[in-house]
């Protein structure tokens, strides 16, 4: 039964290794190079990283199997492997694009013109951006649970200083709270890793998938690791740290935090549930996960609606959109009988992660420009913003369409796949949640647009929109919409290498 | 029998110290308990036969982390901040219940683990000759799971960047941490003059034997960092400014060399971090020495903290 899952090295297996090592090397070199050097290095690495991500996707798609590389020729369980499956390639591409757009946008704020002295924010931003990039790439291609722990560490230690880059007291407090949640998550995850090693003598996901049984150690480990990862992903009720941390960061940092960082731990939950223990039926636990997701969708959207500040609204919208990600879990476990429904739920979940990344990055960048241009981000006083900053408002609206799930957009495709899968699986209550969440999202997006399109009291005439930055944000928003135009067949890529298909249902 | 008795005593003392750390009222007391806790934990690792972990535990968690916490406690004592609202009795009970539940679940899971535990120890020993190393722990760190070691070294660099990014306004580029006045008398002044030569020799010994006995770069780096910190605390050594290109190179060099050797493996052997057989020993030694130096500098800088505003210094 295991012939479908091989850990033999494949041609092009070096691509995922390079996808991880180039940004990490960039981060290490950033320190001696200084802020200006780090900035230039980042821009040199961006096109290379994007090409590597495209190459990984192309090679995976062409061969129909994951790319595998054995580090130092040592095969698991003794050694470590990188394994880039469909999910990994989708995330590699997303990360390369979001990081690239954010870097272009951030030049205005964190750039170091020649001849000027190095600033703290500049050196920190460019090196931390590279660190986030390397960490997210590692989190999606590593095949070993301890290597993934190191990826989580890198991700946390890069994200936490990004959240408090402006050095204000409130943002330091928010970052500290984030760190507490994240460290609690790390400890719980590590406890589970130790238990799994004690039970099976390996930490390789592919090998664990073949060995894991429904023993007490497996169940306790899975519960601890899931809880820890949820704290890092900010699934309600462990979301308390997210809104102040994401809303207080500089716009470029918020974009990366909301679009990518929370997705790293989410991918790990997926790997744990459908990789490490695909054969373990846990329908009740999956229902609990999705119930938390549903609560996040409803309560997060309602909280977004109640916010007086634009940045906090966008941050609460992230809390809600994370909820959608967890709807795929009961649909995947219930759909073991119907491979087609499981595939649909899987694609829906991955597409939600990707389209939310583009939409939310676009939204944070646009909102950052608006807050800077207007000098505030009070929603009630946004009147006239539509005339002063049309590109930003268009970006906000387009990204909002994708978040709502209005066709045609990537968000629509994701939510439609989840919705139909829920109905096919006989779990219609999730369909209601998806529809209700869409309505609430529509309301809070409309609330912003309605105020911004009014005349206002006229003092916005002097506000100029930085065109270059606004176009970057708009491009991301367009991307989140264009995803919805792709034919469904194109998403076959994300199905490649699914471990629950190869091993599922046969514990 | 005496072994069991000793183990029980160590276990009970560790639990008591952990409870003391959690319940202590002042930050200083809690830190003192924490340091003692780390040292006893190191003892427990020795009893379990994991001398490598014991060394790291004593050097990093008890030593450097203890020093870091002491520094934080003294700073908090100097400028008291408004205490956050203490959790109420209900919240406390809830936290206690959660902790108890996790402990019970982990305990139950551990008791249910297969006996003897599945282990890779035999396989790790079987391939050890290929790695040119005599210590299986070094084999795991430098060969089988070299990637994890490389990435952890990158985490250390990232930690320095993270700590520096917290520098308050007005100090960027300056000398890291508070400036200590030169101490001429007393035990610290004596220790700061006496210990470093010995410490450096011990560190090199631990680094050198690491390839065939317990020891290695992390432990050696912790000792080297401690020696620098001792001289720093006594006001005998002023660290370079953080704008110094040389200081920054020193932090990044070890990880950078490891990365370069990893890429060399791609060219020479077709896999990242594969060492050509003829060069294995030489490359590993180069990485060990470079990493020990870089990690020592980074650990010391982490304890010193970000540069402070020039006017206050």
Length of chain A, please?
507
A445 part of a folded domain: yes
Report DSSP state, residue B179: P
Nearest to B119 by CA among A204, A201, A208, A195: A201
**What number is the average pLDDT over the span A371-375?**
91
Give the minimum alpha-carbon distance from A70 to chain B in angstroms, rounded to a whole number: 7
Residues of chain B with C-beta less than 8 angstroms from the C-beta of A25: 256, 259
Contacts of A295 (CB under 8 A, 6+ apart): A236, A237, A323
Closest Cα of chain B to A351: distance in Å?
29
In terms of average pLDDT, the best of A413-417, B86-90, B210-214 is A413-417
Q: CA of A193: which chain B residue's CA is closest?
A: B106
Banded pLDDT at B131 (limits 50, 70, 90): confident
Residues A225 and A293 occupy one common structural domain? no
Query: What pLDDT is recorded for position B133?
Result: 79
User: Are residues A270 and A226 part of one domain?
Assistant: yes
Does residue A263 sit in the same domain as residue A337? no
User: Is a pLDDT exceeding 60 seen at residue B273?
Assistant: yes
pLDDT at B170: 82
In a domain, A505, yes or no: no
Query: Residue A333 is part of which domain span?
Result: 282-496
Give the model confidence (pLDDT) of A51-107 as tens digits. 999 999 999 999 999 999 999 999 999 999 999 999 999 999 999 999 999 999 999
Chain A residues whose beta carbon lies within 8 Å of the beta carbon of residue B249: 32
Banded model confidence at residue B102, pLDDT cuts 50, 70, 90: very high
Q: Which of A280, A300, A326 is the last residue of a domain?
A: A280
Q: What is the DSSP string of B102-171?
A: HHHHHHHHHHTS-SSPP-SHHHHHHTGGGGT-S-HHHHIIIIITHHHHHHHHHHHHHHHHHHHTTPPTT-
In a domain, A124, yes or no: yes
What mean pLDDT comes out for the span A386-402?
93
B248 touches chain A (CB under 8 A): yes
CB contact under 8 A, B155 and A215: no
The percent of residues above 70 in pLDDT, for chain A, comes to: 96
Percent of chain B with pLDDT over 70: 96
| Confidence label for A1 from pLDDT (cuts 50, 70 and 90) | very low
Of the three residues A244, A260, A280, the one that is the final residue of a domain is: A280
In a domain, A501, yes or no: no
CA dihedral (B268, B271, B272, B277) in degrees, to 10, reads: -50
Say which range, A25-29, A472-476, B90-94, B250-254, has the weakest mean pLDDT. Answer: B90-94
Per CB-CB distance under 8 Å, the chain A contacts of B110 are 195, 198, 217
Mean pLDDT of chain A: 91
What pLDDT score was predicted for residue B83? 61
Number of structural domains (chain A) is 2
The CB density around residue A390, as the number of other CB atoms within 10 Å, is 13
pLDDT of A358 strictly over 90:
yes
Q: Is B267 on the interface with A (CB under 8 A)?
A: no
Whether residue A311 sits in one domain with residue A205: no
Do the Cβ atoms of B304 and A101 come closer than 8 Å?
Answer: no
Among A311-325, B123-137, B165-179, B264-278, which is the least confidently predicted range? B123-137
Contacts of A27 in chain B (CB under 8 A): 154, 157-158, 161
Whether chain A has a CB inside 8 Å of the CB on B172: the answer is yes
First to last CA, chain A: 11
Nearest by CB to residue B105, choosing from A70, A117, A220, is A220
B120, B245, B269 member nearest A32 (Cβ): B245
Structure tokens at A271: 């790997």
Mean pLDDT for the stretch of residues B193-210: 91
DSSP E strands in A176-280: the ranges are none
**Is the model's pLDDT at A3 over the cut of 50?**
no
pLDDT score of B69 more than 60: yes
- Which residues does A454 contact at the CB level (< 8 Å), separation at least 6? A383, A384, A386
Q: Is A304 a residue whose pLDDT tops 70? A: yes
Within-domain flag for A506: no
pLDDT at B139: 83
pLDDT at B81 over 70: no
Q: Looking at chain A, which residue has its C-alpha nearest residue B275?
A: A72
Do residue A212 and residue A293 come from a single domain?
Answer: no
State pLDDT tens for residues A176-198.
999 999 999 999 999 999 999 99
Instruction: Measure in Å the smallest separation between the Cα of B187 and chain A Cα atoms.
Output: 36
User: pLDDT tier at B153 (50, 70, 90 boundaries)?
Assistant: very high
Of A258, A280, A302, the one marking the end of a domain is A280
Residue A496: DSSP 8-state: T
What 3-state class would DSSP assign to A309?
A: strand
A78 to B108: CB separation less than 8 angstroms, yes or no: no
A240 and A193 part of one domain: yes
Task: Specify whether A205 is located in the same domain as A347.
Answer: no
| Confidence at residue A4, expressed as pLDDT on a 0 to 100 scale | 52
| pLDDT at res. A278 | 73
Q: Closest-CA residue in chain A for B259?
A: A25
Q: Is residue A219 part of a domain?
A: yes
Give the separation between CA A91 and CA A97, rounded to whole angstroms: 10
The reply to whether A212 and A73 lie within a common domain is yes
Confidence of residue A503 (pLDDT cuts 50, 70, 90): low
Give mean pLDDT, residues B81-86: 66
Does residue A507 lie in a domain region?
Answer: no
Q: What is the pLDDT of residues A45-62, one digit of tens each?
A: 999 999 999 999 999 999
Contact residues on chain A for B165, CB-CB shorter than 8 A:
120, 123-124, 128, 161, 165
Distance from A413 to chain B by nearest Cα, in Å? 37
pLDDT reading at B158 higher than 90? yes
The predicted structure's pLDDT at residue B239 = 92
Show residues of chain A in contact with B173, CB under 8 Å: 117-118
Decide if pLDDT at B128 tops 50: yes
What does the mean pLDDT of chain B come to?
Answer: 89
Q: What is the rounded CA–CA span in Å between residue A419 and residue A236?
A: 21
Q: Which residue of A has its CA nearest to B118?
A: A201
- Contacts A–B by Cβ distance under 8 A: 173
Q: What is the mean pLDDT of residues A284-302?
A: 94
Question: What dihedral do alpha carbons A322, A323, A327, A330 form, nearest 10°?
Answer: 110
Is the per-residue pLDDT at A444 higher than 60?
A: yes
A264-290, pLDDT tens digit by residue? Answer: 999 999 999 998 887 666 788 899 999
Give yes or no: residues A231 and A312 share one domain.
no
pLDDT at A471: 96
Listed range (A86-95, A217-226, B63-72) with the worst mean pLDDT: B63-72
Q: Considering the domain boundaries, does residue A437 fall inside one?
A: yes
Co-location of A352 and A276 in the same domain: no
C-alpha to C-alpha distance for A309 and A301, rounded to whole angstroms = 14
**Are A158 and B248 within 8 A, CB to CB?**
no
What local confidence, expressed as pLDDT, does residue A352 receive?
95
- Does the structure show a pLDDT above 50 at B313? no
Give the residue from A26, A7, A123, A14 showing the smallest Cα distance to A76.
Answer: A7
Do A150 and A192 lie in one domain? The reply is yes
- Cβ contacts (< 8 Å) between A154 and chain B: which residues? 151, 154-155, 158
Q: Please give the residue that has the higher pLDDT: either B264 or A339.
A: B264
pLDDT value of position B82 = 63
Cβ of B113 within 8 Å of Cβ of A198? The answer is: yes
Asked if residue A297 and residue A156 are part of one domain, the reply reads no
């Amino acid at each position: 039964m295991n012939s479908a899952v091989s850990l033999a090295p494949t041609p092009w297996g070096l691509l995922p290794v390079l996808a991880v090592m180039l940004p990490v090397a960039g981060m290490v070199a950033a320190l001696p190079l200084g802020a200006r050097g780090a900035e230039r290095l980042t821009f040199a690495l961006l096109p290379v990283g994007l090409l590597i991500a495209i190459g990984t996707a192309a090679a995976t798609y062409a061969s129909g199997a994951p790319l595998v590389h054995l580090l130092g020729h040592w095969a698991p369980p003794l050694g470590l492997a990188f394994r880039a499956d469909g999910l990994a390639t989708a995330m590699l591409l997303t990360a390369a694009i979001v990081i690239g757009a954010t870097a272009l946008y951030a030049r205005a704020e964190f750039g170091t013109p020649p001849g000027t002295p190095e600033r703290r924010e500049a050196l920190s931003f460019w090196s931390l951006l590279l660190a986030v990039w390397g960490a997210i790439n590692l989190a999606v291609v590593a095949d070993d649970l301890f290597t993934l722990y190191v990826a989580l560490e890198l991700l946390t230690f890069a994200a936490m200083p990004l959240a408090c880059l402006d050095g204000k007291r409130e943002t330091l407090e928010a970052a500290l709270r984030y760190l507490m949640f994240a460290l609690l998550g790390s400890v719980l995850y590590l406890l589970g890793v130790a238990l799994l090693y004690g039970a099976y003598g390996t930490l390789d996901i592919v090998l664990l998938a073949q060995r894991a049984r429904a023993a007490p150690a497996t169940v306790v480990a899975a519960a601890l690791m899931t809880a820890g990862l949820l704290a890092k992903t900010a699934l309600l009720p462990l979301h308390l740290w997210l809104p102040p941390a994401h809303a207080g960061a500089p716009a470029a940092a918020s974009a990366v935090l909301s679009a990518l960082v929370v997705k790293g731990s989410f991918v790990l939950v997926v790997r744990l549930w459908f990789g490490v223990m695909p054969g373990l039926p846990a329908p009740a636990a999956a229902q609990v996960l999705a119930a938390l997701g549903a609560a996040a969708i409803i309560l997060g959207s309602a909280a977004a609606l109640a916010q007086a500040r634009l940045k906090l609204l966008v941050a609460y919208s992230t809390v809600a959109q994370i909820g959608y990600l967890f709807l795929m879990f009961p649909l995947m476990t219930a759909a073991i009988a119907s491979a087609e429904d499981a595939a649909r739920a899987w694609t829906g979940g991955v597409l939600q992660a990707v389209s939310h990344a583009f939409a939310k990055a676009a939204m944070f960048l646009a909102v950052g420009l608006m807050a800077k241009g207007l000098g505030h981000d009070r929603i009630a006083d946004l009147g006239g913003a539509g005339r002063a900053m049309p590109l930003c408002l268009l970006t906000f609206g387009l990204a909002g369409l994708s978040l709502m799930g209005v066709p045609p957009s990537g968000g629509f495709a994701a939510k439609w796949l989840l919705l139909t899968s829920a109905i096919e699986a006989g779990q219609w209550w999730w369909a209601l949640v998806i529809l209700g969440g869409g309505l609430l999202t529509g309301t809070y997006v409309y609330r912003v647009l309605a105020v911004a399109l009014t005349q206002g009291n006229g003092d916005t005439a002097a506000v100029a929109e930085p065109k270059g930055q606004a176009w970057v944000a708009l491009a991301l928003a367009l991307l989140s919409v264009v995803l919805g135009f792709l034919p469904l067949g194109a998403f076959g890529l994300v199905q490649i290498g699914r471990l629950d298909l190869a091993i599922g249902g046969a514990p | 029998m005496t072994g069991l008795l000793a183990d029980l005593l160590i276990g009970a003392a560790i639990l008591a110290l952990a409870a003391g750390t959690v319940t202590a009222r002042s930050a200083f007391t809690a830190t003192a308990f924490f340091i003692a806790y780390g040292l006893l934990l190191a003892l427990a690792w020795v009893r379990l036969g994991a001398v490598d972990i014991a060394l790291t535990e004593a050097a990093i968690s008890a030593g450097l982390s203890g020093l870091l916490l002491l520094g934080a406690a003294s700073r908090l004592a100097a400028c008291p901040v408004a205490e956050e609202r203490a959790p109420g009795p209900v919240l406390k009970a809830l936290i206690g219940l959660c902790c108890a539940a996790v402990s019970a679940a982990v305990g139950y899971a551990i008791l249910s683990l297969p006996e003897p535990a599945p282990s890779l120890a035999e396989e790790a020993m079987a391939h050890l000759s290929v790695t040119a190393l005599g210590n299986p722990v070094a084999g795991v760190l430098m060969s089988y799971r070299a990637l994890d070691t490389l990435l952890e070294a990158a985490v250390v660099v990232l930690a320095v960047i993270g700590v520096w990014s917290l520098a308050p306004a007005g100090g960027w580029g300056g000398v890291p941490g508070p400036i200590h006045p030169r101490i001429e008398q007393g035990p610290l002044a004596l220790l700061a003059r006496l210990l470093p030569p010995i410490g450096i020799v011990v560190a090199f010994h631990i680094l050198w034997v690491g390839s065939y006995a317990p020891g290695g770069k992390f432990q050696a780096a912790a000792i080297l960092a401690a020696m620098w910190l001792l001289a720093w605390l006594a006001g005998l050594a002023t660290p370079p400014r953080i704008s110094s290109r040389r200081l920054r190179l020193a932090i990044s060099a070890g990880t950078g060399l490891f990365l370069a050797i990893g890429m060399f493996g791609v060219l020479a052997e077709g896999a990242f971090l594969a060492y050509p057989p003829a060069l294995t020993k030489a490359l590993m030694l180069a990485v060990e020495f470079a990493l020990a130096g870089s990690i020592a500098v980074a650990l010391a800088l982490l304890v010193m903290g970000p540069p402070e505003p020039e006017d206050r210094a």
